[in-house]
Amino acid sequence: MSSDAPLYERDPDAWNAYLAEGNARQARKRVGADVLIRDEHGRVLLVDPVYKPDWDLPGGMAEANESPAAAARREAKEELRLDLDIGRALVVDWVPPHGPWDDSLMFIFDGGVLEAGQIADLQIVDSELQSFRFAAPAEMAELLRPYVWRRVQAALDALQGSCTSYCENGHWVTSQRPRQA
């Protein structure tokens, strides 16, 4: 092989070592994935974590090399024993550094509408949660942190259309909300 050939052709092992070195130096982002689950009245399922003062959507942080959708499904199962078919991504929200935390990417996926029997079977199976409830938008505005509430609003709007919303700290990046279908 010619010495003019690119490194990836001349020496694949050296090429992979070069890529691994670059990968080790690149920034890492935390990724969280929540699920927007509704009841037949359009109320949203919220959970009350023991480790923070405000309510939240079911979900949590992705593990290493786990996709956001897989994390959302795993978290719903670990928290509430809900085995869901995770729907489309409704929101991707970049959260800037705050307190001791670096920035992160937070996803909200469509968890669908639960039937009455599924709701009756809901139970907390994770010691990180102390309660759950379904809440209408006015209640959610009081129960959720402001930037989480903005993210949930974006998810509710995205449900009405066919696009995923991109936000930064819960605010739409563009001046227009997604168009309704």
pLDDT tens-digit readout, 156-174? 999 998 889 999 999 988 6
Going through the chain in order, the beta strands assigned E by DSSP cover 30-38, 44-49, 59-61, 89-95, 104-113, 129-135, 165-168, 171-172
Give the right CATH number for 29-172 from 3.30.40.10, 3.90.79.10, 3.40.50.300, 3.30.2350.10: 3.90.79.10
Main-chain phi, psi angles of 28, to 5 degrees: -115, 145
Whole-number pLDDT of residue 125: 94
pLDDT tens-digit readout, 119-170? 999 999 999 999 999 999 999 999 999 999 999 999 999 999 888 999 999 9
Domain residue ranges of the chain, discontinuous segments joined by +: 29-172
Q: How far is CA 84 from CA 21, 31, 72, 87, 106, in A?
A: 38, 20, 9, 9, 19
- Report yes or no: 55 and 46 within 8 Å, Cβ to Cβ: yes
